[in-house]
Amino acid sequence: MTDVPAVLAKIDAGRLIELVQEVCRIPSVLGEEGPLAAFLHDVMRESGFEATELQPVMGDRPNAIGELSFGAGPRVVFTGHMDTKPVSHGWTAAQPFSGELIDGKVYGHGIMDMKAALVCQIVAMEALRDSGLPLSGTLAMAAVSDHMGDQTGSIVYFDTHDADMAVLGELSDNEIFLGHRGRYYFDITVLGTSAHTCHKPLAVNANLLAAHAIIELDGSRLMPELDPQVAALFGPETFMSPGRVYGGLPPGGPSMIPDECVIRVDCRPQPGITTEQVRAEIDRCLAAAARRDPRFRASVELADVKSGYLAAAGDPVVTLMTDAVRSVRGTEPVHQVAGWLGDTASFGAKVPTVIFGPGGEPVYCPDEHLSVDDIIEATQVYAAFGANALAAGNDGTTA
């Protein structure tokens, strides 16, 4: 049996919370990950991590990577993204980038998604190294850029580094998530006939035609045939919504009746649902729009594909994380899934991965915060997972 208490005893809670406060003070909105990457790289380098690097990704937006080697054995990766969404309005308890500690909670924009988890993973690795336990293998850290863009950071890292298994630190309320839905973007270009507003009878307003499509698309209730386990975890409906509409001319310039309107349809499929299945539902909706108005004409383009992900409950990475949570919390964890999109959309097909991290819904709201207790517990679970995964002689499974 792995001596998990020996690892947990080496977690420096003071250092952990101070580092979480520090990362909260470094803005890293999508496109501005560079300063946070530099900070995390310095933390790992100064701590004695090996192979530390600011891995080039996009311009001044590198990944921050490093690892700890314990000889021959499995290669395990802790990973998570550095980028955040823009700051929400309405903060009152603290400032968004203060990292302030109030009543046992650390406040900071993006602390749940997922700045705290990055620190928890690094400090857990330090505890594992300092425990002196006999370990075999490599534990790597990859703090990646561009999650909220095209997931370029994860793609670059896992294209250049092998891994036998990974832990993605997305917010899961310190529960075990086996996977998440995918994301398909379809762009529907609706065509009309332009004319000067004074010549309205000569025009076919593309915005009007698009409205018929929007009504049909919003009313979609796609219920595809699913594997029973997938249906039980994710629910029966493949969600689809006309999320963005681009039509007409911008304010401040000349006006006319537009001949083009583009609808971006945001689809959130369960694992296993194909783009062809979703496209068929879109075509059904557009046919209904054409029945509303025979002038309706449109073309459809698949603009982006991010696949869903689901680890099997019996996968070694899931078993190891289940044992880790049980050893820290003393209760049996429940396996769940997420509705949001994780970087596992880009690397999960080649690296068995489990999702675990502090924080949960709602996220990206005023006064975003995490309790110190949750931060410490997440670090303990990461450390216990690493100890189990790299236990000397471990073959990647547990008894």
- CB neighbour list of residue 198: distance below 8 Å, 6 or more residues apart: none
Mind giving me the DSSP string for 104-170? TEEE-TTIIIIIHHHHHHHHHHHHHHHT---B-SEEEEEEES-TTTT-HHHHHHHHHS--SEEEE--
b vs e for 77-97, b when ≥16 Cβ sit within 10 Å of the residue's Cβ? bbbbbbbbeebeeebeebebb
**Nearest Cα to 146, choosing from 54, 33, 55, 39?**
33
Q: Which structure tokens are listed for 168? A: 């993605």
User: CATH for 4-180+308-389?
Assistant: 3.40.630.10
Q: How far is CA 132 from CA 9, 11, 14, 175, 392, in A?
A: 12, 13, 21, 28, 12
Domain ranges of the chain: 4-180+308-389, 183-306
Sign of the CA dihedral running 108, 114, 116, 118: negative
Question: What does CATH list as the number for 183-306?
Answer: 3.30.70.360
Low-confidence residues of the chain: pLDDT under 50 = 397-399
Q: Strands 165-168 and 75-81: what pairing? A: parallel
Residue 24 CA from chain centroid, whole number: 18
Q: Which two tokens stand for residue 40?
A: 């995390």
Angle at 52 between CA 62 and CA 145, to 5 degrees: 20
> Phi first, then psi: what are they for 205, rounded to 5°?
-70, 115
Backbone angles phi, psi at 20, to 5 degrees: -60, -45
- Could you report the per-residue pLDDT of 38-48, keeping only the tens digit for each? 999 999 999 99
Q: CB of 283 within 8 A of CB of 259? A: no
* Residues recorded for the chain: 399
Closest to 136 in 3D by CA, of 67, 73, 50, 69? 73
**Dist. CA 65–CA 155, nearest whole Å:** 14
This prediction's pTM: 0.93
pLDDT of residue 197: 93
Report pLDDT for 204. Answer: 97
Q: Which amino acid is at 102?
A: I
For 146-157, write each residue's pLDDT tens digit.
999 999 999 999
Q: Which helix (H) or strand (E) holds 378?
A: helix 372-389
